[in-house]
Amino acid sequence: MLCCMPGVAFVPALLVSWSSAAFIISYMIAVLAGHVEPLVPYISDTGTKPPESGVFGFMINISALLAAITMYIRYLLIEKQNESSHFVRSSCNMFTLCIGLMGCTGMGIVATFQELAVPSVHDIGALVAFGSGVVYITLQSLISYKSCPRWNTYFVCHIRMAISVISCIAFIPSILYNVSHGFPFILHCIVSFTLFSPVIVFASKVSMTKIDWTPGEKVKSY
Q: Report helix, strand or coil for 215.
A: coil
Fill in the DSSP letter of residue 219: P
Between these two residues, 202 and 11, which has the higher pLDDT value?
11
CA distance 213 to 74: 17
Between these two residues, 162 and 208, which has the higher pLDDT value?
162
Q: Is the pTM of this model over 0.85?
A: no
**Contact between 195 and 166 (Cβ < 8 Å):** no
Structural domain boundaries of the chain?
9-208
**Contact between 208 and 147 (Cβ < 8 Å):** no
Confidence of residue 169 (pLDDT cuts 50, 70, 90): confident
Between these two residues, 94 and 117, which has the higher pLDDT value?
94
For residue 107, the number of C-alpha atoms closer than 13 Å in the C-beta half-sphere is 27
CA distance 99 to 135: 7
CA distance 4 to 18: 23
Buried b (16+ CB within 10 A) or exposed e, 147-176: bbeebbbeebbebbbebbebbeebbebbee
The pLDDT value recorded for residue 74 is 92
Q: Does the structure show a pLDDT above 70 at 5?
A: no
69: buried, middle or exposed (CB in 10 Å: 19+, 13-18, 0-12)? middle
Between these two residues, 188 and 13, which has the higher pLDDT value?
13
Fill in the DSSP letter of residue 50: T
The pLDDT value recorded for residue 101 is 96
